[in-house]
Amino acid sequence: MAKKSKETASKSDNWSIEDDFWPVEGLHHIAHKGLLNSSSLIIEVGGNRGHDTVKFIEHYDPWIISYEPLVSRAKSLTEQFKTNSKVKIHPYGLGSYARKFLIDPNDYNNVGTNFFQKLSSKNSSQTVQVELLDIVKVIQDIRRTKTKNGIIDMLSLNCKGCEFEILPALILNNMTQYFRTIQFSTHLGLILDASVSCIYCQIEVALDKTHETLYHYTKIWEGWVLKNKTEN
């Protein structure tokens, strides 16, 4: 697949993610033609309502290991995909280290999580405990037990900010080289800490060393393909 040019236009002060996110939202489902097939393994972080999972199955029929930290959501997803033996749902999130914490679900019908968000006392009745696993340990185990050559075909992150933990952890441990493709939605608007913009730039620089652009809408959705690994 030909590379898409980078979208680098600056955003005005009143820019909202809704302005640009939804018009390109479906791109992360279809951008991998020729890169994914029925033998491919996708690690999905952020199962949510199962929309991405359904689209991946529709386009590629791959093996999918999906992580959804809201236990109620994970149970629903397990039921939704119970007839597909190629899909495995785990009731955990992934982060830079393992931990449990309390969170207020958000997004449509409270099916989203943002572990950078402070607990809201007015929403305390909705507070639930979620568990994160260590991304490095999880990927090491998957490479050892679920792959033949140690290469995972795709890491897809749609997890409302966890990209700012997961990608730096993988980069620091020299593990991005084990993903044929990496794609993620950037959720800067959900995180008030100004340092995340710097982290985002560091992620971009690091990914550019091992991967090349597949598609790229700056700070919205982007996909990267491992250099010299563009053919099945």
Q: Which residue has the tokens 């952890």?
A: 169
Distance of alpha carbon 1 from alpha carbon 4, whole angstroms = 9
Say how far apart CA 6 and CA 216 lie, in whole Å.
5
Summarize pLDDT for 74-118 with one digit per residue, the tens. 999 999 999 999 999 999 999 999 999 888 766 544 444 555 555
The pLDDT score that the predictor gives to residue 213 is: 96
Residue labelled with tokens 């290469």: 151
Q: What residue type is 65 in one-letter code?
A: I
123 band by pLDDT with thresholds 50, 70 and 90: low
Please count the other Cβ atoms lying within 10 Å of the Cβ belonging to residue 211. Answer: 20
pLDDT tens-digit profile of 13-45?
A: 343 444 555 566 688 999 999 999 999 999 999
Short-list 141, 135, 143, 205, CA closest to 169: 135
Q: What is the dihedral of CA 101, 88, 211, 38, to 10 degrees?
A: -170
- The Cα 202–Cα 59 span in angstroms is 32
Yes or no: say if 75 and 49 are a contact pair by the CB < 8 Å rule: no
Q: What is the pLDDT of residues 200-224, one digit of tens each?
A: 899 999 999 999 999 998 888 999 9
Provide the whole-model pTM.
0.82
- The amino acid sitting at 70 is L
pLDDT digits (tens, 9 = 90+) for 171-195: 999 999 999 999 999 877 666 566 6
For domain 27-96+135-226, the CATH superfamily is Vaccinia Virus protein VP39 (3.40.50.150)
- pLDDT at position 97 is 96
Burial level of 143, CB count in 10 A (0-12/13-18/19+)? middle
pLDDT at 121 over 80: no
Rounded Cα gap, residues 72 and 220, in angstroms: 28
Rounded to 5 degrees, φ, ψ at 138 are -60, -45
- CA atoms of 226 and 109, how far apart (whole Å): 36
* 112 in Cβ contact with 160 (< 8 Å): yes
Q: What value does the mean pLDDT of the chain take? A: 84
- Position 42 scores a pLDDT of 98
Q: Could you say which DSSP state residue 195 is in?
A: H
